[in-house]
Structure 1
Amino acid sequence: MNYLLDTCVISELVKIEPDKQVAEWINSVEEGQLYLSVVTIGELEKGISKLKPSKRKDKITEWLHNDLIFRFNDRILNLDINTFIEWGRLNATLENQGKKMPSIDSLIAATAIQYNLCLVTRNDRDFQNCNIQILNPWK
């Protein structure tokens, strides 16, 4: 099985003391089975850019640009026409059910749908109506 890591999973791993269960789960899966969305890269950059200048900010910026992006190079999934078709279908279905989802989350869900990936997230309830496999390593 292959996995799409939600932003919260990557953010957890850069904490000074990451959650033990999350770290253990990540270490139990072959790196080649782990994927990121370009949306996650954007969310990480946004979070880092909001930090005040510090050594920690410099370290995390270095990690994002020179480690994470390099390590996931061919496993960072772009948003293309097929992703947006899935996104449109997903949002229409949710809206017909009277449910709404933030665009960032629905783009991540659409990516999981397009590539048939299990979404790894702490926010499993946010994605419960998307008809995708979800794994919450915090539980």
Structure 2
Amino acid sequence: MAYLLDTNVASELTKSRPHPAVSAWLEAAPGPALYLSVLVVGEIRQGIERVRDRDPVKAAVFESWLTRLEHGFADRIVPVDLKVARQWGLLNAKATLPVVDGLLAATALAYGWTLVTRNTKDFARASVPLLDPFAWPVGS
């Protein structure tokens, strides 16, 4: 089983106190089976640039985190390739989603992965396997 992380899950890793359920899921998940899309990297980059003028120090912290994330996932950052584009075309003809969400769902479908996101309702029409780590049981 392999997992494609949505931006809201990857971003949780920036927090000094991430959501306990997400932390528990990440500890239980097999690290080598976790993947990122180039689109997630792009969304994180966009967030950094939006913060930069307001708070350059915070932007620098996020920049450093993104660099570590890119190195940590180096060979597990997947492109939008022909296989994904074809799957997106099939998916989008039936269940129109915002472009980035649709391409994330198509990536998971094309590779037989589970999409890990807090926004499961956003992807419900895509018939993609979903997992919400924010709902993961935390040990008592």
Instruction: Assess same fold via TM > 0.5.
Output: yes
* Residue 62 of structure 1: aligned partner: 64
- Of all paired residues, the percent bearing the same amino acid is 40
- Partner AA of 1:12 in structure 2: E
Identify unmatched segments of 5+ residues in structure 2.
136-140
Q: CA deviation at 1:56?
A: 2.3
- Per the alignment, residue 103 of structure 2 pairs with 107
- CA shift, 1:132, in A, is 1.3
Which residue is equivalent to 1:14? Answer: 14
**TM-score of the aligned structures, taking structure 2 as reference length:** 0.91
Report the alpha carbon displacement of residue 72 of structure 1 after superposing the two structures with TM: 0.5
- Gaps of at least 5 residues in structure 1 are 95-99
Aligned length: 133
Structure 1 length as normaliser, TM-score? 0.91
Specify the code of the residue in structure 2 equivalent to 1:88: G
Give the drift of 1:131.
1.4
SS at match of 1:41: helix
For 1:84, the aligned partner's letter is A
Aligned to 2:35: 35
Distance in structure 2 (CA, Å) of the matches to 1:33 and 1:7: 17
Q: What are the residue-to-residue correspondences of 1:120-135 with 2, within 5 Å?
A: 120-135=116-131
Secondary structure of 1:128's aligned partner: helix
Supply the distance in 2 between the matched residues of 1:90 and 1:30 (Cα, whole angstroms): 28
Q: Whole-Å Cα distance in 2 between the matches of residues 113 and 18 of structure 1?
A: 28
Q: After TM superposition, which residue ranges in structure 1, 4 or more long, deviate above 3 angstroms?
A: none
